[in-house]
Structure 1
């Protein structure tokens, strides 16, 4: 087992400090390392559990996601607990992700100049503390807080397990989930808030049996090699929202891609790429398939339709590239000049090269005196080769 941690962007004088954890070895050892880091960074402690539900969750993970169960057992070791305890949940190492205004797009190899598939996203989130954010979402106001902003300590996590695909993921505040990532097979995925116009606040029901909204991408990257395998896994998995409703863009190097969405009644939708770019902001694509018929934005919609039109227009035709992807994402970036009533910024921009299995990201460091955003230099995070058995 080897674990390394380094600061890769930002610092004490900036809005955020980004750490990169690289862990290799047994899944249980990786889980132990991530639990210790979550304790150190976030003061994480396991949430109390209903014993019947805790047993049912472990049984589901054993059947469908044994990698996660092994990491939970490693977390138990880090905490000095019985790995079969029914008293607490041994996952959820961080906090509940609350979706915000994000934008994403996938360019298949058939429409890129170099024949390489690329997936890109802006991760847009609030710049407030947890106390200020929860007060705002409840419709009230709170005094400025001395708490660190909820989004100020993201992590890049690279894992090279003995018994599964190596992955690189990026997470805002939950070390056993992620907001986006890629595995050694070139399968990559991101999530966005799914229904900005009807957001009513986070679901606070606690962990359920199956995969939560922030665990779903980890589940796919641990267990799938291709888009077709990811579709089958999603259709067969038990899923629940922990936080707000999300949707997911999944792609692989072959050019296959889709957006996965679930309706409020549990109905499931696969929206396929139609040969060109596949774009996603914060409205459900299965209800808005015609770009020309998109409604007008409201304050509550977080400019989802405007951002979709812009990124789709800039992603049309052939001869696309990773550089064009970055330009399209920057055109819909949320900054101080954006017309939104919420304290939101684009906290990072990521571009995945699916052929080279690389994630390249720059991170928000704060606003300059003129109001323009400051970002760290873009850094590429390749997936390291598997260690010999």
Structure 2
């Protein structure tokens, strides 16, 4: 599926990426398109962007520490960064650009539990090849988060760029670009593209970009309920790219998909008695549960999770991600919400735990 002729490369060449925090997502790929639906993006080219970048504030010392912490994990290439600073706010930094960046590929996410019943969430991030990084954050308010990001959003298009001082000046803004993540309250959020999504505009609300809302939730939410309230507090801006929908989960076992149906915020819960939930790139609100299995990646996950009654080990979770892996899968991540753990797989697996 294309995105109305606009590629991420086009927008990057136009200079919109290095300081931006608008939209990012994973659009439909094999088995992910909606039958009978148009492949147009959520906003036509040139639609006004209302969302401003989040304020991601660090002292000069904290910024330098972030730059110094960058270490290579594997040949994907995958990196690791530590980050300290203030929780995200909606006050835009001076001179920042809020342009949105579309894509044209596919993602798969699911929420389930391990053998002991502790919630876990997994995802394949399928997009253009680019350096990725784990971002391990300690906020000034004491909150910790773990997230994975695409470093091209801060101007790093290849591993060699990390040796260029000019190109790494925006690297500390990688904090703003959490494509999937968890916080120390056990709240998880991850995104996938939903090309039909368009959000209602409510007078008097501030605007947030479709990617910026994820960092706001990681920095401020303690439960899935809190996360939904964040969505219901802001106008969510998808201008310039495909719309998005989101998988939420927390350590209590609560889980939900958030998307926009006929512009209204829609919260979709798993059917009664179903201990798992899956998200692919079709508009969930348009399909009853029994019809969602017509989508191949959703169906593969559903059959496996049904047969295991929603319980899978971390190793089995990675195997399931491999079953729905695409040629352009960039990373795989598995989060344990109770223990605060992350296994991220680039060329090989790496394990992390939220700091106390």
Return the alpha-carbon distance in structure 2 between the equivalents of residues 216 and 5 of structure 1: 26
Greater share of helix residues, 1 or 2?
1
The answer as to whether partners of 1:256 and 1:273 remain within 8 angstroms in 2 is no
Give the CA deviation at 1:268: 1.4
Give the CA deviation at 1:67: 2.6
* Structure 2 counterpart of 1:116: 118
Give the CA deviation at 1:322: 2.4
* Structure 2 counterpart of 1:23: 83
* Structure 1 counterpart of 2:110: 105
Cα distance change of structure 1 residues 161 and 331 upon mapping to structure 2, 3 Å threshold: same
TM-score when normalising by structure 1: 0.61
Q: Does 1:89 align with 2:153?
A: no
Give the CA deviation at 1:186: 1.1
Return the alpha-carbon distance in structure 1 between the equivalents of residues 213 and 70 of structure 2: 26
TM-score when normalising by structure 2: 0.66
* Structure 2 counterpart of 1:279: 278
The secondary structure found in structure 2 opposite 1:181 is strand
Q: Does 1:190 align with 2:190?
A: yes
The answer as to whether partners of 1:5 and 1:19 remain within 8 angstroms in 2 is no
The secondary structure found in structure 1 opposite 2:263 is coil
Q: Which runs of 5+ in 1 are unaligned?
A: 28-65, 74-82, 127-150, 200-207, 296-304, 336-344, 364-375
1:225-374 to 2 correspondence within 5 Å?
225-242=222-239, 243-263=241-261, 265-274=262-271, 275-292=274-291, 295=294, 305-316=295-306, 317-318=308-309, 319-335=311-327, 345-363=328-346
Deviations 1:5-25 (A, max 9, x none): 2333334xxxx422221022x
Give the CA deviation at 1:180: 0.4
Give the CA deviation at 1:116: 1.1
The answer as to whether partners of 2:81 and 2:133 remain within 8 angstroms in 1 is yes
Alignment partner of 1:224 out of 216, 221, 225:
221
1:27-66 to 2 correspondence within 5 Å?
27=86
- The total of aligned residue pairs comes to 258
Q: Does 1:211 align with 2:189?
A: no
Return the alpha-carbon distance in structure 2 between the equivalents of residues 270 and 120 of structure 1: 20
Return the alpha-carbon distance in structure 2 between the equivalents of residues 294 and 320 of structure 1: 20
* Structure 2 counterpart of 1:67: 88
The answer as to whether partners of 1:120 and 1:349 remain within 8 angstroms in 2 is yes
The answer as to whether partners of 1:22 and 1:159 remain within 8 angstroms in 2 is yes
1:131-146 to 2 correspondence within 5 Å?
none
Give the CA deviation at 1:292: 4.0
Give the CA deviation at 1:320: 2.9
1:145-156 to 2 correspondence within 5 Å?
151-156=129-134
Deviations 1:103-156 (A, max 9, x none): 011004xxx421211100011113xxxxxxxxxxxxxxxxxxxxxxxx322222
The answer as to whether partners of 1:100 and 1:192 remain within 8 angstroms in 2 is no
Cα distance change of structure 1 residues 358 and 99 upon mapping to structure 2, 3 Å threshold: farther
Q: Does 1:7 align with 2:71?
A: yes
Cα distance change of structure 1 residues 214 and 99 upon mapping to structure 2, 3 Å threshold: farther
The secondary structure found in structure 2 opposite 1:329 is helix
Root mean square deviation, CA, Å: 2.4
Cα distance change of structure 1 residues 219 and 306 upon mapping to structure 2, 3 Å threshold: same
Q: Does 1:165 align with 2:143?
A: yes
Give the CA deviation at 1:99: 5.4
Computing the radius of gyration from Cα coordinates, the structure with the larger value is 1
The answer as to whether partners of 2:194 and 2:283 remain within 8 angstroms in 1 is yes
The secondary structure found in structure 2 opposite 1:327 is helix
The answer as to whether partners of 2:74 and 2:348 remain within 8 angstroms in 1 is no
Between 1 and 2, higher relative CO (CA 8 Å, sep ≥ 6) is seen in 2
* Structure 2 counterpart of 1:180: 180
